[in-house]
């Protein structure tokens, strides 16, 4: 989830402070490296960059002294290439005559790098932002104008991204949008372009919103928008924006958690795009196919995803997998594992101490180590034979939402590959997620009144929805501070049934094939006065037995299990807000747990 910012001024001026400030305003998006390039009126490019925080790198390379007529800043959240000076952005073309930076993922980066090298270009990094620059360079070399070169590069670069580029002998900047955010601003004798509003609003309120498939050409006083497909000029005026900085950072949502719930379809789509072009996938899948035993290891939300992954593997590939909480992995399996076994270790941060402890033991025993990680360059990525990126960008809210659903998508993807199922089926999932978010909002609000004041409740699932019940209960505990226990619906009668009183809220999640069993559980509690709330497919049997139903589409049972978590995330969020808590920063909790 990188951030880009570009500025064009009327004449050479001190741009460093403006670019530093823009970087600080973009830093909420999360990043691991920063870079600035300025281009002066004589066409000299000054490029300074490195891994690290804005203030640290700015001081080390004296960003504040940088002068130019045009400037580009980039904050990088690593996906291709570990955080380093060479992989930091912006990037130069072969001759150092163009400089550019991107936000997003170019999924055919590896193939393009080989092509560019074969064409005689100087490729300095493994970062996909550099591929954007060389894609434009390819067509400039062939004699195309800047606009036409960008149009052709747009078709070559696969994935979701936005990109800004400048040329030494051209006094303009150019930017184009393909799936990632891009907005421009018009000021007094300057124009700007950025990934999002927060970096622009302190400079100007005259905003130009870009659409996919569009190029914007920025001079010091005006802009022109072109269609990528036709090359024709698009007539569009700037709009006056009144949003506050905080609202802009949250994309108009009241909290980052709600924003990140709504981002889940997009990051799922980006994961699928990226993994379809990842050479690490085949190595991982082959290891899973040949393993004696497979262990899925994680903590908290990541452990719940491991449980779901084990169910997916059983249902789709008939492959036995063992989900285990990282601390218990050592106690339960440290003497049983060996070189014939494969472990997939799951951590959003890649720094979770319990997971790293388990990896240390597994490595000593010779186990093959693979991982699902969101933070490139983290300790877990360095300890893994192969690591697979979760591609979620920065998750600001402490409760995991989009990182959890992408973990589910990742496990489902691997299960499909091991089973040799058509991976293209998964491309439908993001649209189903988007529709579920849209439809679940009002349904959740309708049942909120029946649960919002209870400090004790249960979340029950069975089979494929059992791990969803675990995660739903965890979300409720994390941000509402109510006690909620997630468990198998069939286990409820073995003790917890004694807790049921009048109107006691019990949430069930189910897929269609498990409805008869879930109905038994529903009646087991409703006959004792409980209030049953069911998340599942539209079905007359559920409607007639439960007090409330939240309907979820069921394209496949596996898809349905992923969709089912969305209403539970929303319920947790709205219940937390009703209680006057900040769902983004619940008490006593941290995003990254680096202690035992």
* Domain final position from 421, 437, 472: 421
Distance CA 76, CA 83 (A): 8
Tens of pLDDT, residues 40-92: 999 999 999 999 999 999 999 999 999 999 999 999 888 788 889 999 999 99
**Chain CA centroid to CA 129, Å:** 18
Give the model's pLDDT for residue 339: 96
Share of the chain above pLDDT 90, in %: 80
pLDDT digits (tens, 9 = 90+) for 506-558: 999 999 999 999 999 999 999 998 999 999 999 999 999 999 999 999 999 99
Q: Among positive and negative, which fits the CA dihedral 524, 530, 534, 539? A: positive
Domain with 300, as residue range(s), is 253-421
* Structure confidence by residue, pLDDT tens digits, 272-326: 999 998 888 999 999 999 999 999 999 999 999 999 999 999 999 988 899 999 9
> Looking at the structure, do residues 446 and 589 belong to the same domain, yes or no?
yes
- At 591 the pLDDT is 52
Task: Tell me: do 356 and 234 sit in the same domain.
Answer: no
Q: What is the pLDDT of residues 227-243, one digit of tens each?
A: 999 999 999 999 998 77
Backbone angle region of 75, left / alpha / beta, with phi > 0 → left and psi within -120 to 50 → alpha: beta
Mean pLDDT for 139-157 is 96
Contacts of 583 (CB under 8 A, 6+ apart): 255, 257, 258, 397, 399, 479, 572, 573, 576, 577
Q: What is the DSSP string of 134-153?
A: HHHHHHHHTT--HHHHHHHH
pLDDT at 1: 58
Kindly report, residue by residue over 296-305, the tens digit of the pLDDT.
999 999 999 9
Answer yes or no: do 535 and 389 share one domain: no
Mean pLDDT of the chain: 92
Does 246 have pLDDT greater than 50?
A: yes
Beta bridge partners of 395: none
Residue with tokens 């007529």: 69
Shared domain check, 455 and 399: no
Domain with residue 557: its CATH number is 3.40.50.10490
Q: Which of 67, 83, 68, 71 is nearest to 22 (CA)?
A: 71
Query: Given this model, what pLDDT does residue 592 score?
Result: 52
Give residue 208's pLDDT: 93
Split at pLDDT 50, 70, 90, the class of 30 is confident
Q: Are residues 442 and 407 in the same domain?
A: no
Q: What is the DSSP letter of 530?
A: P
Q: What is the arithmetic mean of pLDDT over 494-511?
A: 92
DSSP class of residue 179 equals: B
> Three-state secondary structure along 316-381?
HHCCCCEEEEHHHHHHHHCCCCCCCCEEEEEECCCCCHHHHHHHHHHHHCCCEEEEEECCCCCHHH
Q: What is the pLDDT of residue 595?
A: 43
Scan for tokens 């979701």, then name that residue: 160
Alpha carbons 488 and 459: distance in angstroms, whole number: 9
Catalytic residues, by residue number, are 2, 591
**Rounded to two decimals, what is the model's pTM?**
0.82
Q: Tell me how many domains the chain contains.
A: 3
CB-based burial, 553-576: b 16+ in 10 Å, e otherwise: ebebbbbbbbbbbbbbbbbbbbbb
Say what the pLDDT of residue 594 is.
45
Going edge to edge, which strands form the sheet with 548-551?
483-488, 456-461, 505-509, 531-536, 548-551
Other beta carbons within 10 Å of 234:
15
Same-domain pairing of 278 and 400:
yes
Residue-wise pLDDT for 461-493, tens only, equals 999 999 999 999 999 999 999 999 999 999 988
User: What is the reported pLDDT for 413?
Assistant: 98
Which residue in this structure is represented by tokens 């700037």?
Answer: 238
* CATH code, 192: 3.60.20.10
Do 117 and 52 belong to one domain? yes
Token pair for 214: 């569009």
Q: What is the pLDDT of residues 153-168, one digit of tens each?
A: 999 999 888 999 999 9
Structure tokens at 123: 């490729």
Determine how many CB atoms are found less than 10 A away from the CB of residue 55: 14
Q: Are residues 259 and 348 in the same domain?
A: yes
Residues 87 and 33: beta-carbon distance below 8 Å:
yes
**pLDDT attached to residue 398:** 87
161 close to 270: Cβ distance less than 8 angstroms = no
Q: pLDDT tens digits for 376-415?
A: 778 898 899 999 999 988 888 889 999 999 999 999 999 9
Task: Report helix, strand or coil for 533.
Answer: strand
Residue pair 148/157 in contact by the 8 Å Cβ criterion: no
| 275 shares a domain with 218 | no
Neighbours of 537 (CB within 10 A): 20
pLDDT at 199: 85
Average pLDDT over residues 100-105: 91
Write down which residue in 391, 421, 451 finishes a domain: 421
What distance in Å separates the CA atoms of residue 551 and residue 564, rounded to the nearest whole number? 9
Give the tokens for residue 433.
């997620």
301: helix, strand or coil: helix
- Whole-angstrom Cα distance, residue 586 to residue 32? 25
Ramachandran sector of residue 332 (left: φ over 0; alpha: ψ -120 to 50; beta: rest): alpha
132, 228: one domain:
yes
**In the structure encoding, which two tokens stand for residue 147, read together?**
């606009």
74 shares its domain with 163: yes
The residue assigned the tokens 């808590």 is: 581
Q: Looking at 217, 249, 281, which one is the last position of a domain? A: 249
- Say if residue 242 is in the same domain as residue 287: no
Question: Which residue from 162, 583, 244, 539 is spatially nearest to 397, judged by alpha carbons?
Answer: 583
Residue 11, judged by CB atoms within 10 A of its CB (0-12, 13-18, 19+), counts as: exposed
């Amino acid at each position: 989830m990188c951030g880009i910012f570009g500025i064009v001024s009327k004449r050479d001026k001190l741009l460093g402070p403006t670019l530093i400030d823009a970087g600080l305003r973009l830093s909420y998006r999360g990043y691991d490296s920063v870079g600035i390039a300025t281009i002066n009126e004589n066409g000299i490019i000054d490029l300074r960059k490195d891994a690290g925080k804005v203030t640290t790198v700015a001081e080390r390379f004296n960003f504040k002294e940088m002068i130019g007529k045009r400037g580009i800043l980039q904050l990088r959240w690593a996906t291709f290439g570990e955080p380093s000076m060479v992989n930091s952005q912006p990037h130069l073309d072969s001759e150092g005559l163009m400089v550019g930076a991107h936000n997003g993922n170019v999924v055919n980066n590896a193939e393009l790098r080989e092509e560019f090298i074969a064409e005689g270009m100087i490729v300095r990094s493994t970062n996909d932002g550099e591929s954007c620059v060389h894609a434009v360079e390819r067509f400039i070399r062939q004699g195309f104008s800047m606009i036409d070169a960008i149009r052709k590069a747009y078709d070559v670069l696969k994935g979701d991204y936005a990109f800004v580029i400048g040329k030494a002998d051209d006094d303009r900047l150019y930017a184009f949008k393909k799936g990632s955010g891009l907005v421009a601003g018009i000021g007094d004798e300057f124009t700007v372009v950025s990934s999002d509003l927060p970096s622009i609003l302190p400079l100007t309120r005259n905003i130009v919103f870009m659409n996919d498939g569009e190029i914007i050409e920025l001079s010091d006083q005006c802009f022109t928008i072109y269609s990528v497909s036709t090359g024709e000029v698009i007539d569009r005026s700037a709009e006056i924006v009144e949003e506050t900085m905080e609202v802009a950072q949250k994309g108009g949502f009241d909290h980052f958690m709600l924003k990140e719930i709504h981002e889940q379809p997009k990051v799922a789509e980006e994961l699928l795009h990226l993994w379809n072009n990842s050479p690490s996938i085949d190595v991982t899948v082959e290891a899973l196919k040949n393993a004696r035993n497979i262990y899925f290891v994680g903590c908290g939300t990541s452990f719940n995803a491991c449980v779901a992954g084990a169910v997916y593997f059983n249902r789709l590939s008939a492959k036995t997998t063992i989900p285990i909480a990282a601390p218990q992995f050592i106690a339960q399996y440290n003497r049983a594992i060996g070189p014939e076994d494969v472990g997939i270790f799951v951590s959003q941060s890649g720094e979770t101490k319990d997971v790293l402890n388990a990896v240390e033991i597994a490595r000593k025993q010779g186990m093959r180590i693979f991982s699902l990680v969101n933070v490139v360059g983290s300790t877990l990525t360095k300890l893994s034979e192969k690591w697979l990126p979760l591609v979620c960008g920065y998750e600001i809210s402490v409760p995991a939402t989009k990182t959890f659903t992408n973990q589910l998508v990742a496990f489902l993807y691997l299960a499909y590959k091991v089973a040799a199922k058509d991976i293209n089926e998964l491309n439908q999932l993001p649209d189903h997620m988007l529709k579920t978010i849209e439809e679940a909002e009002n349904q959740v609000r309708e049942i909120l009144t029946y649960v919002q004041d209870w400090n004790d409740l249960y979340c029950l699932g069975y089979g494929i929805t059992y791990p969803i019940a675990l995660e739903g209960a965890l979300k409720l505990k994390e941000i509402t501070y109510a006690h909620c226990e997630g468990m198998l619906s069939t286990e409820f009668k073995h003790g917890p049934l004694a807790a049921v009183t009048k109107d006691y809220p019990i949430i069930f999640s189910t897929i269609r094939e498990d409805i008869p069993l879930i109905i038994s559980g529903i009646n087991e509690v409703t006959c004792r006065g409980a209030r049953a709330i069911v998340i599942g497919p539209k079905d007359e049997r559920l409607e007639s037995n439960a007090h409330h139903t939240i309907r979820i589409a069921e394209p496949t049972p596996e898809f349905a299990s992923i969709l089912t978590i969305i209403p539970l995330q929303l319920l947790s969020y709205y219940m937390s807000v009703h209680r006057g808590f900040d769902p983004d920063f619940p008490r006593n909790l941290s995003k990254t747990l680096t202690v035992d």
